[in-house]
Every structure is written in structure tokens, then in C-alpha cells.
Amino acid sequence: MAEFMELEGQDGVRMAWNVVPGTKQEASNCVVPVSAIYTPIKPFPSMPVLPYAPLRCRNCRSVLNPFSIVDFTAKIWICPFCFQRNHFPPHYASISDENLPAELFPQYTTIEYQSPGEASSLPPVFMFVVDTSIIEEEMAFLKSALTQAIGLLPDNSLVGLITFGTLVHVHELGFSTIPKTYAFKGSKDVSKDQLLEQMGFFLNKPKPSTGVIAGARDGLSSESIARFLLPASDCEFALNSILEELQKDPWPIPVDQRASRCTSTALSVAASLLGACVPGSGARIMAFIGGPSTEGPGAIVSKNLSEPIRSHKDLDKDSAPHYHKAVKFYEALAKQLVHQGHVLDLFACALDQVGVAELKVAVERTGGLVVLAESFGHSVFKDSLRCVFQSEDKDLGLSSNGIFEINCSKDIKVQGILGPCASLEKGSTSAWKLCGLDQATSLCLIFEIVKTDIPDATVQSSNQFYFQFLTYYQHSTGEMRLRVTTLSRRWVAGPGSIQDLIAGFDQEAAAVVMARLVSFKMEIEAEFDPIRWLDKTLIHICSRFGDYQKDSPSSFSLSPRFSIFPQFMFHLRRSQFVQVFNNSPDETAYFRMILNRENVANSVVMIQPSLISYSFQSVPEPALLDVAAIAADRILLLDSYFTIVIFHGSTIAQWRKAGYHNQPEHQAFAQLLLAPRDDSDAIIKDRFPIPRLVICDQHGSQARFLLAKLNPSATYNSEGHHPGGDIIFTDDVSFGVFLDHLQRLAVNKI
């Protein structure tokens, strides 16, 4: 695995197959698709940023790279993608094998170009959209978090404020002396024209002729824009005083009803306002939502409390009355935002569901951030929001206006991307828009091998496939950058290629690709059976790449390259991505959105949590994710990505309750208690959104957060379990049983 991580350290790429099956048939026999997880703007401190424009192949437009063959005498380079011969322009005249430009250095397979003329003068824009249909206590938490966030905004950024409950209020920030708002009815969607009309954008000017998209370029004066979007440094006072005065939605709520909350109308107003004022700039709508949407086209439930909010069962039976309408609304909103180049960030904080499942499409297609917490007072929300703006501790590197393109050798083509982006549907070229992206954003690229036959050995041809990933984006400093990553992978075909394929298999990357694929299929394919699909895939893989004598399960073994893949699939089957019925649709949408944007290492933790054991007997050591890891005199630290659990065995808990750690003679015990806290702090510091921390004791109610993730090797129906340990109340099969079945099926397959 180390060499795969090294490649990731150079290019931000992990591929499931690092030796590529060379034909369509070979690829289909490999079951796991030829695929890559790519982090387009992963920071590389030693990566050069070139202050000039890239050289492009005049035939296929791919960018000059270290795999290009260069003829220094003739001053010609041959494109590895289309074999076109290209002349170097005059300013490359001094090129020689001793005088290479950086883009031809073999180690710079990932490089950036910065176009000097293109630095954007457009400041970042933040449009806060704030739910006021929440209880006073939540209102106070939210106000305090927003006040803090406003204090952290970059001075040059533009800020706007919309609040909503029964009505939508757009706040004018330009005149701090007389607070003024424009109100819109929550039940009706407002078109951009109506919005502009009502807000007096055309008071002193004739309205532009219909059919023209209104925007800064066609008629909106900067004065009228400045009424709603002000530099953070100028409006901090006005904003803070509005927030201070902000009341919860004043409309009375009958006891048998939910609060009136027009989330979708508010978001639509925000999108249209940004579309009119700052089209094409890196603007973010930051939505703070404290309960279910009950009003307008995106409502997820009626106001009547006797109607429950949709569950997975309702969605499964297609009996959620508002779901399709709301999703359709947010699909249209996504389209509008992508067209405008704007991002929707979602901070959903409530005990109830708020509609993350419906909103998902708009957040994901625009590359927005998502945070789900129980309350605006919870650290998961507060600390995550702080991370968005505070750059000393942790820089998310929020960037905008991204376009992602792929070039490949002609025998391979990209089939699709799973990740936070939107297809540009640009005909034959492969391009996607990333309205918002950050240093962690990771795309899953699925490739298709087009070649159907193995070329005749007498025909001279390369046995390398080339891939080039191009990301244009607006760097957080405002300048436009182009990141170019060019890769080459050897392909194999025919008899004898199996050992090469095995040697190039990255089981972690493969597990993550399978997790994204299974989540995607569960969402779009009706009647899809995820367990059956995963099991079939795994059995195929094992029977193709395992070592065994036919019909002899005991002879079965897997190369170290594959050895933990079955375990990943076992945990994936049990994970929140597949066992959705244990969660709400909002939670499932949230987990999948995060899976869909994270890198391999983080995603592996979501699939198979890590467990560390602390005791007096040894230094902290990794423990098997099994109920057998529990012991009375141990502390366990479970990291399941979204939740971190510190679990005290019963003896440890007793000692702690007795206060031993406060006694000078029990320094060692104090240290033991502290060690997992320090380690969890380090994990939390590196992660966005901030995970939930649960500290619990054996046999306590919170212990379920740990038990749910452990392999049930000892359950109430297995014979005797060891003393001081624990058992899990479940009928799930244990990993041992799962592996037995797998070996039996794999050896009988062919």
C-alpha cells in the first residue's frame, strides 16, 4: 500500500488498478472498474506554480507534460495522447536536455499554471440565509455563531443577509440608520424578474428588454447592488445590529402544527439575487436551517403534526407525498446555481429532519459544504463554521469557479464522475463544473476500456495508457490557476496478466470506489439489492484473483494485495451507506455527501472505523474492530469518521468515578485517561465537518455508538464469551462466518 500512497503524495490520485486491464473483456473480468479517486487541488508545498500559459497540443489540446517525447534538435514534442507532432514556440528556443522547462521535469507530473493577466478582481461573496422559525434558545446559539463568523470574514468579501420563516426577508445593509427589508411570501416561488421589480432595481432605469438575463453586465447599477451586498468591513456594524434585533418568526403556531418555514423560497430568492448582482463570481449561499421545510415548492412535510416526516420506508414504498416535488425544485435550483457559478452550503441543525435528502442535489452539484448537527449550540456546528473562515489553524482552501477536464489515451474513455460536481454536457469533450471546491474535494473517476482486441505483437504500439486531469479554478487568493496532473499506467492483456493485475491492485482505493458506486446505485436504481450486488462482486473477485484448488474451500488464499478487501466489503455491507434503515433519509444523504467528496484514507475510516486500545499492559495499539476488543481494564478509541467514541472499560470507569486520576500516586492512571483524549483532539483538528465526540463507559447507554460498529464475533447466541468482555445483541453474521461462506462460493464458482 505504501507505494500507492507515495503516488498519491505526488499527484493526489489513487487508482483501484495501477496495472490496467487492457481490453474491454479483461476489464469486465476484473469486476471493480478501472477508476481513480483524484483530489484536484490537494496542496503540494513543493509543486511549482508557473507564471506563464501552458503549451497545448494543436490537435487534442492536451497540455505538454513529462511523458511527451521531445526532439531537442528539431524543437518538436510529440503528444502522448494523440501522437501529434507539435513545434515549440520561439520562447522555448533555448530548450535542451540540460535546460528543461519545469513542466517537462519527470517529477512534476502535477504542476500549476497561473495566468498573470487573469487575476480576478471579484471579491468572494457570502449570502447568509438564516432560518428564524426556531426556538429562542436555538436563535441565541445561531446569532452568536453568526456574529463570530462575521468577525472572521475577509475584509474585502461582500456580504448579504436573508432571513426566513413564514416570509422571506431580504435585508438592505446599505443604509444602517434605517433598517429596511423586502418581504416575499413564503408559499410562492418568486421569479428573478419579480424579485428585481419588487426590490426596486429598475427605479431609475428602464427595465432591460425581456429575454435578457439580468446581471451586473446588463444594467444593474453598482449602487443598487451595494444595497444588498456590502464589503464585510463596511457592514459589520449594520449586520451585527440586525442580528442583535433579529427575533424568532413572530407568526403564532397552533399546537397541532409545525412552524411555517419556507426554506426553498428563501434559497430561490438568494439564488436570484446573486444571479442578478454577481453572476460568474465565486459566491456562496450559506443556509442555516433549524427545522423541516413546510412551505413553498420545496416543502418536505405538511404543517399538520399528525403527518410524520418521510422515512426510508416511505421513500422505498414511494409514499412520501412531497419528496419528488421538492427534489425537482432543488434540481432546478442546482441548475440555476451551476449556470451562475454559485455554491450552496448547508448547515442543518435540528433534532428533526430538515430536508437534507431533498436539498442534497443542489449542495452536491455546486460543490457546497454540508454540516449536520443536533443544535446550533453543538460543537459539530459551531466549530465547523469557525473552520470555514478561520485560516490559521486549518485552511479549507475554499476555491471557486472550477472546470474539470479529462484527456485519455484513445483506447480508454471516462464513463462518469461520482463527486461534488455538475456535468457540463459539452458534447464529446469530458468537462465538469466545480462551482465550489476545496483542498479536500475528491472526485471518483470511472473509466471504460474501449479496446476490444489485443493488438498484434508485430504492430509497434505502446503498452502505456495516459491520463491527463485539468482543473481550472479560482484560487482562494483570487487568481486563476490551472492544475495539470498527467499519469501513465501500464496495461496488460491475455494469459499471464493476472499476476501483474494483482500487483497493481489498491484495495483501499477499490473499496472506496465500491462504496461510492453502491451508494449511487441505491439512489438511482429502483429494486437495486446492494447486499447481493456487493456479495456477487466480492465472490467474482475472489474466484478470479484467489489462489485455490477447485471445490476445496480450505485451500483458498488471497495475495496480500487483496487480503483485506473482503473485510472492507464486510464492513461496507454493515455501514451507514448500505444499512440505511438505521438512519433517517437526512442522515443517509449527509453521510453519502461526505463520502462523495473525501479522499481514500478518510473514506476508508467511514467504511471500516479504526479502533485503538489503551491499557497499562502496552503502548496504545490498534485493535481488531471486534467485540473481543472490549475489556474492563482498557480504554478504546473508535474513529468512525462522523463520530469519535472514547469508551472506558468498567474497571477504568470505576477508578475514574472514584477520582483516582486526581491522586498524586496515580499519575500513570491520569496519563492513561488523557492519552485517548489527546489522540481524539488530533483527529478532530484535522477534519471537516468536525466529528461528534462521545465519551462513554462500558454498559452505559452511549456505549451503543461503539457496539454498533464492532464485529459481532460474540453474540447472545454464540457459546460462552470471555470474562470482562461484552456481547452484541444482533443476528448479523460475524466476519468469520462471512469469510467461510465467501471461500466456499469462490472455489465453486467456475
CA distance 542 to 742: 8
Stretch that binds Zn ion, among 82-90, 240-248, 262-270, 496-504 (CB under 5 A): 82-90
Q: According to the binding rule CB under 5 A, does residue 55 interact with Zn ion? A: no
Contact 734, 741 (CB under 8 A): no
Take residue 295 and report the three cell numbers written for it: 412551505
Instruction: Choose between 85 and 744: whose C-beta lies nearer to Zn ion.
Output: 85
- On whether the CB atoms of residues 574 and 531 are closer than 8 A, the answer is no
**Helix, coil or strand: residue 312:** helix
Report helix, strand and coil shares of the chain as percent, to nearest 5.
35, 25, 45
CB closer to Zn ion out of 59 and 555: 59
Cell of 219: 444594467
182 binds Zn ion (CB under 5 A): no
Rounded Cα gap, residues 561 and 542, in angstroms:
12
Of 29, 84, 497, 615, which lies in the binding site for Zn ion, with binding defined by CB under 5 A? 84
Which region among 38-46, 71-79, 409-417, 720-728 touches Zn ion (by CB under 5 A)?
71-79
Query: Does the protein bind Zn ion through residue 60 (CB under 5 A)?
Result: yes
Q: For Zn ion, which stretch binds (CB under 5 A), given 60-68, 217-225, 427-435, 490-498?
A: 60-68
- Phi and psi angles of residue 706, each rounded to the nearest 5 degrees, phi first: -80, -50
Helix, strand or coil for residue 747? helix
Task: Please say which residue, 60 or 628, places its beta carbon nearer to Zn ion.
Answer: 60
Residue 79 beta carbon to Zn ion: minimum distance, rounded to whole angstroms: 3
Tally of CB atoms within 10 A around 238: 20
The three cell numbers locating residue 415: 464513463
Nearer to Zn ion, 84 or 488 (CB): 84
Q: Is 467 in the site for Zn ion (CB under 5 A)?
A: no
Quote the least distance from Cβ 53 to Zn ion, whole Å.
Answer: 17
- Residue 630 interacting with Zn ion (CB under 5 A): no
Distance CA 648, CA 652 (A): 6
Question: Shortest Cβ distance from residue 80 to Zn ion (Å)?
Answer: 8
Tell me the three state secondary structure of residue 345: strand
Spatial distance between the Cα atoms of 253 and 271, rounded to a whole number of angstroms:
28
Stretch that binds Zn ion, among 49-57, 142-150, 433-441, 463-471 (CB under 5 A): 49-57
The binder of Zn ion chosen from 15, 19, 32, 79 (CB under 5 A): 79
Going by C-beta distance under 8 Å and a sequence separation of 6 or more, which residues neighbour residue 269?
162, 168, 170, 184, 190, 195
How distant is the alpha carbon of residue 269 from its chain centre? 26
**Binding status of residue 511 toward Zn ion by CB under 5 A:** no
Size of interface with Zn ion, in residues (CB under 5 A)? 8
**d(C-alpha 378, C-alpha 651), whole Å:** 30
Q: Which of 55, 644 has the CB closer to Zn ion?
A: 55
> Which residue of 81, 323, 556, 562 would you call a contact of Zn ion, by CB under 5 A?
81
HSE at residue 575, side-chain half, CA atoms within 13 A, is 31
- 1-40 mask for Zn ion (x: CB under 5 A)? ----------------------------------------
Q: Which of 16, 19, 57, 238 binds Zn ion (CB under 5 A)?
A: 57
The secondary structure of 446-458 as a DSSP string is EEEE---SPPPTT
Choice from 6, 28, 59, 107 touching Zn ion (CB under 5 A): 59
HEC string for 386-444: HHHHCCCCCCCCCEEEEEEEEEECCCEEEEEEECCCEECCCCCCCEEEEEEECCCCCEE
* DSSP letters spanning 192-206: HHHHHHHTTTTTTSP
Give the nearer residue to Zn ion in terms of CB position, either 80 or 292. Answer: 80
Is the CB of 85 or the CB of 677 nearer to Zn ion? 85
With contacts defined by CB under 5 A, name the span among 57-65, 132-140, 210-218, 619-627 that binds Zn ion: 57-65
> Which of 475, 510, 521, 690 minimizes the C-alpha distance to 594?
690
Nearer to Zn ion by C-beta: 4 or 81?
81
Interaction of residue 628 with Zn ion, rule CB under 5 A: no
Handedness of CA 13, 15, 20, 21 (dihedral sign): negative
| Out of 47, 76, 78, 82, the residue judged to bind Zn ion by CB under 5 A | 82
By CB under 5 A, residue 522 contacts Zn ion:
no
Nearer to Zn ion, 67 or 81 (CB): 81
Distance of closest approach, residue 426 Cβ to Zn ion, in angstroms: 18
Choices 59-67, 149-157, 363-371, 376-384 (CB under 5 A): range interacting with Zn ion? 59-67
- Our CB check for Zn ion shows the closer of 57 and 672 to be 57
The span from the CA of 729 to the CA of 676, in Å, is 27
The total of other beta-carbon atoms located within 10 Å of residue 216's CB is 16
Nearer to Zn ion among residue 60 and residue 246 (C-beta): 60
Report H helices in 278-407. Answer: 312-316, 323-340, 356-365, 379-389
Contact region with Zn ion (CB under 5 A), list: 78-86, 307-315, 409-417, 510-518:
78-86
Q: How far is the CB of 69 from Zn ion (least distance, A)?
A: 12
Q: Which stretch binds Zn ion (CB under 5 A): 77-85, 122-130, 650-658, 692-700?
A: 77-85
> Nearest distance from residue 18's CB to Zn ion, in Å?
24
Which residue number, 4 or 77, has a Cβ lying nearer to Zn ion?
Answer: 77
Task: Name every residue whose Cβ is closer than 8 Å to that of residue 144 and which is 6 or more positions away in sequence.
Answer: none
Residue 437 DSSP class: E
Q: Which stretch binds Zn ion (CB under 5 A): 54-62, 246-254, 423-431, 630-638?
A: 54-62
554 binds Zn ion (CB under 5 A): no
Question: What residues line the site for Zn ion (CB under 5 A)?
Answer: 57, 59-60, 62, 79, 81-82, 84
